[in-house]
Chain A
Amino acid sequence: MKKIISGNEAIALGFGDSGGVFASGYPGTPSTETLEEVARLGQVYCEWAPNEKVALESAIGGSIAGGRSLATMKHVGVNVAADALLTLAYTGVNAGLILMVADDPGMHSSQNEQDSRNYAKFAKVPMLDPSDSQESYDMVRAGFEISEQFDTPVMLRTTTRISHAKGVVVPQEKIAPQVGQWVKNVPKYVMLPSFGKLRHVELEARLLKLQEFAEATPLNRTEMRDPDLGIITSGVSYQHVREAFPEASVLKLGLVHPLPVRKIREFAASVKRLVVVEEMDAIFEEQVRAMGVDVEIGKNKLPLCGEINADILKAALGGSKAETIRPVEGLPQRPPVFCPSCAHRGLFTILSKLKVFVSGDIGCYTLGALPPMNAMHAVIDMGASISAAHGMAKVNAIAGREEKPVAVIGDSTFFHSGMTGLMSMAYNGGNALVIIMDNRTTGMTGGQENPGTGETLQGVPVRQVEMVPLVKALGIDNVAELNTYDLKETEAAIRKGLETPGPYVLIDKNPCILRYKIRKPAMSVDQEKCTGCRACLRVACMALGLTASGEKQKVRVDPNVCNGCGVCKQMCKFDAMHEIEGENYANL
């Protein structure tokens, strides 16, 4: 039956329909919904790992034990899993293994826009690049077949516009899962140097076979139309090409590593102008040029940064573009912001006031860097808040500077890779204040379970990892709890943490209001008492605003948005803010 589903949902469905047995992953936009959908479909065992390396390694174990396995992650997650990936390429697989990686050209929700196709080249593994939901579905099955036929892991790569775009999918006949033998094979799976050397030779031979496969497979197809213009492309770029130049001939690559050399040469010879359209890096173009084939338009006219779309293609290739009106200018921006009544708001109100250097991390709290908080000063990658703060403190000590850095990290990020940094800080005599915002979920990606939630991806109740004993076990003596809804208490606790020498950890245990659906009575402002001093606006809550008219603008609360946390009330020196007893109108 036809369905309209996203690329992520299609991969999940394809996994279940293609004999999938085991899936693991770590949440990360735009990959997250894939594993959530595997769980929702309920046919295959799946789990969240605390990080991408664990996810891939678990999938490797699943494959060795004979079950078709899937690991899912976002592009930067592959950096974490790369240690496993590059040696997995040597060992190969038992049952089929797919690493699904979701790239984010345009950086809609990422810290960089690295092109995962580089990893396929780097690790010397085949990569599939679907161009819509149907192909996302079909390529899971094709991926398992390639994986098992060639004894290799397969990377299935999407981009945001594939993962999050919905299209029509017609499912194939379902294959029942079959678990194969669990075999001991030391030279294949034990990568001692002596065995690794032999496997490397195997790997290079396998790549040559895959290159032959690439020439023949229907995954790479030539669509001959007008021979004046020939375009080599893949993924969502294929759709933009079809939109902008429906008459052009296209070599559509589905298997994007290794490339079909003869097929590319034949295509190039059959068209007048050869164009390569690919988002981000010039991976195809460099290889095509290295074949001695001339490319008229590639990255000389098309961007290396951000997404490609039909208008960009028309501008570069000289097509007719519809006349467009310019966007209305000067409108107030509407950036993402802490939810009304989020526990992070109180923390950043105080950090902003104290003007400390905050070493931040990846999560909702990264928004603390934006105005008016301006209370985060470095964010690199998952877990870096703590390790970077440690390095800062060491250099500060050498420089004779007394200021202590503050690291802010969430629970999921702490479990992912903050723990090792904290252990290092304790071990190496560090000197930073670490604040763990332990809201018992992976908030930024939509509230996924983690080892602190007390529940697995498939809803099984489990023991929660408790933060205080964990932090103590890593070697930290000074651990205290924090309640960021109480501004005075929060300020006092942070000051104490800054004044106490050595590593100091504060843990806020307030749960994510979004995931746990917490509702409180809304606030209102007594217009007689409000002086319009705007002190409350420093908490940066979208429920607050100024009255439209009057001699002096006063503050009002939007009852459609307020969720009654009372942080703004604590900023008011004139007792102008009160809860409306029992009322909550919030709609968001």
Chain B
Amino acid sequence: MQIFNIVIAGVGGQGVLMASKVLAESALASGMDVKQNEVHGMAQRGGSVISFVRIGDQVSSPVVMPGAADLLISFEPLEALRYSHYLKPGGRLLYNKVAINPSTVAAGMAVYPQDVEQQIAAACANAHGIDALAIARQAGNGKAVNMVMVGTVMKFLPLEEDVIREVVRKITRGKGVEVNMKALVGGAEA
């Protein structure tokens, strides 16, 4: 198969790395080659985070180049816009519509674009936003935004949904399993 390039973006603390892990493990469980890469230097919450997952028969570089992503998943609208140029023409964008202020906006030094959703639509014809936080809360934990987003993109991945569900079940511990399974379903139905 041709390499399928996924970019996952969000804000530090939203669980971008865990979502990336789910996709990478699912690809491995499906017998495909996979490389996953993000740059995680600083532990603090609140910085911009971007992660790559590349799935195929044989994957060399761990890096997705701008203009090469089949799918962009963003946990925050401004980050969706920031990394929209990673999409290839015709690529698909799914994003969480709940905004989180960057520190620059919080300090009054910059303004959060009020028309962010219109700008996203202009940057990508194939974009769809959902309220992942509300769905995560319904599933039982606002922190499950990442699993809601995985649920939302499941049908667009070259992976079986059952495999993804099984991976999520395997890598989450204790009470989290039920919440995450509900979050996946909630995301898939959104």
Contact = CB atoms under 8 A, between A and B. Distances in A.
Interface string A522-544: 00000000000010011011111
Contact of B43 (A311, A371, A446): A446
B133 A560 contact: yes
Given A311-B65, A334-B79, A587-B145, A545 B101 contact: yes
Given A335-B103, A445-B43, A166 B79 contact: no
Contact of A327 (B85, B98, B106): B85
B107 to A, nearest CB: 4
A558 B98 CA distance: 11
Nearest to B27: A4
A514 B106 contact: no
Nearest to A541: B106
Given A332-B104, A537-B107, A587-B142, A309 B63 contact: yes
Given A328-B84, A544-B106, A336 B60 contact: no
Interface stretch (A157-165, A409-417, A482-490): A157-165
Interface in B32-58: 33-48
Interface stretch (A38-46, A198-206, A337-345, A458-466): A337-345
B90 interface: no
A108 B108 contact: no
Contact of B142 (A327, A443, A585): A585
A165 B106 contact: no
A290 B26 CA distance: 48
A2 B41 CA distance: 27
B130 interface: no
B68 interface: yes
Interface stretch (B109-117, B156-164, B176-184): B109-117
Nearest to B88: A322
Nearest to A29: B41
Contacts of B88: 322
Which has the most chain B C-beta neighbours within 10 Å: A3, A165, A332, A372?
Answer: A332
Contacts of B67: 322-325
A335 B12 CA distance: 10
Contacts of A236: 61-62
Contact of A587 (B14, B82, B83, B106): B14
Interface residues of A, number: 69
A71 B23 CA distance: 32
B103 A334 contact: yes
B43 A334 contact: no
A83 B186 CA distance: 57
Interface in B72-97: 78-79, 81-85, 87-88
B18 interface: no
Interface in A294-353: 309-311, 322-328, 331-340, 342
Nearest to A514: B43
A445 B33 CA distance: 30
B24 interface: yes
A165 B35 contact: yes
B101 A544 contact: yes
A588 interface: yes
Interface residues of B toward A: which range?
Answer: 35 or more
B121 interface: no
Contact of B37 (A164, A324, A588): A164
A159 B62 CA distance: 12
Contacts of A176: none
A545 B142 contact: no
A1 to B, nearest CB: 10
B153 to A, nearest CB: 19
B138 interface: no
B44 A337 contact: yes
Contacts of A538: 107
A160 B104 contact: no
Given A167-B62, A588-B11, A444 B102 contact: no
A333 B102 contact: yes
Interface in B123-160: 123, 133, 142-143, 145
A167 B106 contact: no
A120 B117 CA distance: 51
Contacts of A326: 85
Which has the most chain B C-beta neighbours within 10 Å: A109, A335, A443, A541?
Answer: A335
Contacts of B63: 161, 240, 309-310
Contacts of B48: 334-335
Interface string A505-528: 000000000100000000000000
Contacts of B145: 587
Contacts of B81: 328, 331
Given A340-B46, A447-B43, A588-B13, 9 more contacts: A132-B62, A167-B62, A322-B88, A325-B123, A328-B81, A332-B105, A336-B46, A548-B114, A561-B101
30 contacts: A29-B42, A30-B41, A161-B37, A166-B34, A167-B59, A168-B34, A242-B60, A242-B61, A311-B65, A324-B85, A325-B67, A325-B123, A326-B85, A328-B119, A331-B113, A334-B46, A339-B45, A339-B46, A340-B45, A364-B44, A371-B104, A372-B107, A534-B108, A537-B106, A541-B106, A542-B101, A542-B106, A558-B101, A588-B13, A588-B45
Q: Which A-B residue pairs are the 6 nearest by beta carbons? A: A109-B41, A588-B13, A324-B67, A336-B47, A332-B110, A165-B62
